Structure 1
C-alpha cells in the first residue's frame, strides 16, 4: 500500500515576505585614503549602488558601509565592516553587495568566518566581479579558493615592500620616518640635534649616572614641567628607560629593532634575533659620549641582575599582582615593596605609588601580599559555594537585558550626524577643486570636520560595543565553567586561578579589598576581618 505524503509549506518565510516584501540591501566598499580621491570615490560608489539597488522593485536601499583602503588584511581594523556586521546581527540587512572577494577581505580566515556567520543569519552576499552569491550551496568552495588567492596577493605585496626596506637597510639609505627624541631631520633627511630636547636627554643620562632611578627621574621631569617625549602622554620610568637603552644618543643607529610577521594576520613584534639587524656606527652627531653610554649600560645590567630580570628586561619570577592592584581613593597603581629585608620575618607589601610620593594626597596605606591572597581565598570559596544564587541569576538577567529606546535613538542620531558631516566634507572638496576656496582655509575646515567625525564615531562605537553586555555575559559563562571543573572549597591560594578570574584588585583606605572579576562583578573582603561582604 502506497504511503500518503503531505507537504507542509514553510510558514516562516511566507509570513516574513508578507510582512516585509522588500529585501533590505546594503553595499560594502573600500575607498581611497587620499582625502580628495576618497570623497570622489565615496560619492561615486553611493550613487552607483543606490541606482543599482533601486532598479529592483523588491529591494530597498539600506545604506553603504565604506572603510578606508589602508589594509583589508585584518577585519578588526575596519570599523565600517564591523558596524555592518552588527547591523546584520540586529536583523536590519538581508543582502550585502560588494565589488569583489578582494574588497571584502584579503584574509582567508576572516573572509570565510564572516561569510559563514552571515549565512547562518540568513544574509546573502553578492560579489559582482566574480558573479558569486553565497545563497548557493556550491559557493563556499569557490570563495575559499578566491580568498586564498587574494590573501596570497596581499602577502606577495607585503614581501616586496619588506624586501625593499631591507635593501635600504643594507646599503644605509633607509630614512627614518619617526625620529628619536632629541633629534630632528634636515632637508636631506639626515639626523641633526634638537638642542632643547637634547638638553633633557643629557640630564637623564647625568642623573641616572648620579644614582637616581628611572622612576625618580621621570617624577622630577614631570615636577619641573618638562614636555614629555613626542610619542608619550607623560614622563614615566618606561620612557626614561627607553632613552637610556637607545644607542642613537651615542651617534649610532640600529635598524630593524622591530619586524612584521610574513603571513597573515600581520603582527608587529620586537626583534629579539628572529630577523637580522643593521648597525651603523657614527651615523650622526652624538648627544652623549660613548663613555657615558657604556657606564649607563653597566648600571642597567647590574640593576637588572639585582632585580631578578632576564636579558629581555622581564622579571624571571614575574609578579602576578603587577598592574592588577589599584587604589580606590586616587586610582593609582600599587607597587611591590620588600620590608624587613634580610630579617627572618621579611615580608612583601604593595603600596599606592601616589601614597609613596605624598601620603597627604593619598591616605591608602600599604597592604601585605599575604592579606590579598587570604582575602581572595575567602572570596572565591564564598563564590564557589553560592554560585547558584549569584552567577546563574546574573547570567539570566544579562541575557534578558535590552538596549533602551533612548540608546537606539542616540545611535541613530549619531549616524545621521556622521552622514551630514561627511556630506559637508564632500562639498568642501568639490568647492576647493573648482578654485572657489583657498587651500589653507580648506585644510583648516577639513581638519575640523575630520576631528568631529572621529569623535562622533568613537561615541557611536562605544554605544554599539556596550549593546548586549557581551563582556559581562562571556565573563560570567567563563566563571561558571571554571567553577564546574573546580567545585571544591580551596585550602590554599591558587595563583593560576587568580590570574584567570580577576581583572583588578581595588584597595580601600579602610582595609577593604575588592576583587573585580572577569565579568566586571565586584566582590569585597576585608584585610583585618575573617568575614566580608559581597
Structure 2
C-alpha cells in the first residue's frame, strides 16, 4: 500500500505592502442654465468633492463638470471629452457619477465610453443605479437603462417640438432671433428697428441698381456699418440672405429647419421632409413686394448667365494654394488674382484678402504664384536630400517623448483654478437670483470670470495636446513615405505632392514664407530675388 505523507506549507514572512490610493474623480452635468439647474450643479460639485476627500483610500482627482449642455452627444461636452482624455493618460483610476442619464442620454456613447474605460481598467460607478462597470453583468444593465435614458431624451424633445408646431399652426410663434432690421417692443411684438432698416433698404436699392452681393458687403464693411452680431465684416452670404428673406415684405415662413427624431439630434434644412407654415402680413414690411420680386428676377437672370458660361471659374479648391496661404500680419487667407488677363504677359499672384478689401487694413502685398511654386520645390528637394538625417531622427525622438511630471503639476494647478472660478460664478448666480446682487454688477464681475476661464481652459488644452504625440508620429511617417517613394528631386511643381505634404503657408514678409508641414514641422524659405 502506497504511503502518503502530508507536508504542511511553510508560511513565508509577509511584508506589509502599501496599497496605493485610488485616484477618484466625479463627472457632473446639468442640461440647462435655469436657476434651479444652477443650484443642482453647485450641489453636485460640492457633494462629490466632500465624498471623495472623506475616503482615506481615495485621492481626489478633480471634478469634471459640463454646465448648461445637453447629454445627447458627447461631442458637445468639453469636460466629458477632457475626462476621457485624462483616463487614457492614466491620471484617473475611478469615475463616480450620479446616474446614467447624467453621464449620457445616448446609449451608443454611453456603452462606447464604458467599454473604452474598462479596457483601461477604469471603473465608472453610477450611484443611482448602483452599478460598477467592472462587474460582469454591468454592460447588460447599462444597455437597458441607457436605452431608457435615451428614450426619455427623445420623448422630451418630441414634446417640445409638438408644442412649437402647435404654435406654428395657429400662427402664434414669435422667434427669439429676429433678422437684421427688426426688434421687439415692450410687449414682445415684432417692430422695425429704424436704424437697421435704413441699411436693409440701401442693400435692396444697391442690388437693384446693379451691384452684386459681394460689392455691397465690401462697401458696408469699408464704411464701418455695424452688423447685428458684432462681426468684423459684412459677408456676401449675409447680404444674399437679406435679399432673399421673405420677412422683409412682412411675411414669415416657419419650420425652414427641423431637428431629427433620433439621438444625436441634428439640425437640418427642411427640403420638403417636414411641413412648413407660411403667414402672410405677419408684421410690418421694410421693403415692398415689387422690390422683392424684382430682386428675385435679377438673381434668377444672373444665375442663368453663370450656368451658360462654360468657362466660369470654380472658386472652391480650384487651385492647390486655395485656403492654404495665411497672412502673417492679419491672419486672413490669400486670394488668387489674375493680372493682364488674356494678354501674353498674364500673371497670377496671391494677395491677402483684407489687403484687397482695404489696403490700409493690412500692408501685406501680393506674391507671384511662380515664386510660391519655386519655394516649395526648393523646400521639397532639401527634405528629399536630408530625409535620413532630419526626419527619421525626428520620428524616433517623438517616440521617446513621454508625459512629464512638470506638465502634470501645471495641469493640476489649472484645474484647481478653473474649479475655483466656476464656483465663484455659481455663487454670483445664486446672489443675483436671490436679489442680493445688482444685474449690472453681476454682468461686470461675471465677465471677468468668464474671460479668465476661457484663457485657463485654452492653456490646459494646449498642455494636454502637447502630451499627445501619436498624430505627429503618424504624420511624420507619412512624410517620410512620400519622400522615399519619389526617386528623383523635383524639377517642376507637383500639385499632388504639395497637397499631401503642406498644411498651410504663413507669409511672414514679402520675401519670407514659413511652410507648416502635416507633422507640425515648420520650415522657412525665401522667395523672389532672395532665392538666388
TM over 0.5: yes
Between 172-181 and 280-289, report the one with greater CA deviation. 280-289
Between 107-116 and 261-270, report the one with greater CA deviation. 261-270
Structure 1 pair 298–324 and aligned structure 2 pair: CA distance change class (3 A): farther
Structure 1 pair 494–475 and aligned structure 2 pair: CA distance change class (3 A): farther
2:443 aligned with 1:477? no
Listed as ranges, the gaps of 5+ residues in structure 2 are 1-13
Match of 1:6 in 2: none
**How far does residue 135 in structure 1 lie from its aligned partner after superposition?**
1.5
2:456 aligned with 1:456? no
Match of 2:143 in 1: 144
Between 451-460 and 481-490, report the one with greater CA deviation. 481-490
Counterpart CA distance in 2 for 1:364 and 1:43 is: 50
Contact 2:100/2:149 (8 A) holds in 1: yes
Matches within 5 A, 1:227-306: 227-230=226-229, 232-304=231-303
Matches within 5 A, 1:178-197: 178-187=177-186, 189-197=188-196
Match of 1:488 in 2: 486
Match of 1:466 in 2: 462
User: Secondary structure of 1:222's match?
Assistant: helix
Match of 1:394 in 2: 394
Match of 1:3 in 2: none
1:417-472 CA-partner distances (Å, limit 9, x unpaired): 33334444555566667x7xx45x34344434533333333223222222243677
Contact 2:395/2:476 (8 A) holds in 1: no
**How far does residue 179 in structure 1 lie from its aligned partner after superposition?**
0.4
1:86-145 CA-partner distances (Å, limit 9, x unpaired): 443443322112222221112233222322232233211112232221212332333234
**How far does residue 34 in structure 1 lie from its aligned partner after superposition?**
4.3
Structure 1 pair 328–49 and aligned structure 2 pair: CA distance change class (3 A): closer
**How far does residue 237 in structure 1 lie from its aligned partner after superposition?**
2.9
**How far does residue 348 in structure 1 lie from its aligned partner after superposition?**
4.3
Match of 1:23 in 2: 22
Structure 1 pair 378–189 and aligned structure 2 pair: CA distance change class (3 A): same
Contact 1:126/1:134 (8 A) holds in 2: yes
For these two proteins, the number of residue pairs brought into alignment is: 512
Counterpart CA distance in 2 for 1:54 and 1:331 is: 47
1:389-417 CA-partner distances (Å, limit 9, x unpaired): 43333344445456777755554444333
**How far does residue 315 in structure 1 lie from its aligned partner after superposition?**
4.7
Match of 1:8 in 2: none
Structure 1 pair 292–402 and aligned structure 2 pair: CA distance change class (3 A): farther
Q: TM-score, normalised by structure 1?
A: 0.81
Contact 2:399/2:469 (8 A) holds in 1: no
Match of 1:519 in 2: 519
Counterpart CA distance in 1 for 2:343 and 2:189 is: 56
2:80 aligned with 1:81? yes
Runs of 4+ deviating beyond 6 Å: 403-406, 529-532
1:159-197 CA-partner distances (Å, limit 9, x unpaired): 333343334334422221100010012355442211000
Contact 1:24/1:59 (8 A) holds in 2: yes
Q: TM-score, normalised by structure 2?
A: 0.81
User: Secondary structure of 2:63's match?
Assistant: strand
Structure 1 pair 473–531 and aligned structure 2 pair: CA distance change class (3 A): farther
Structure 1 pair 392–32 and aligned structure 2 pair: CA distance change class (3 A): same
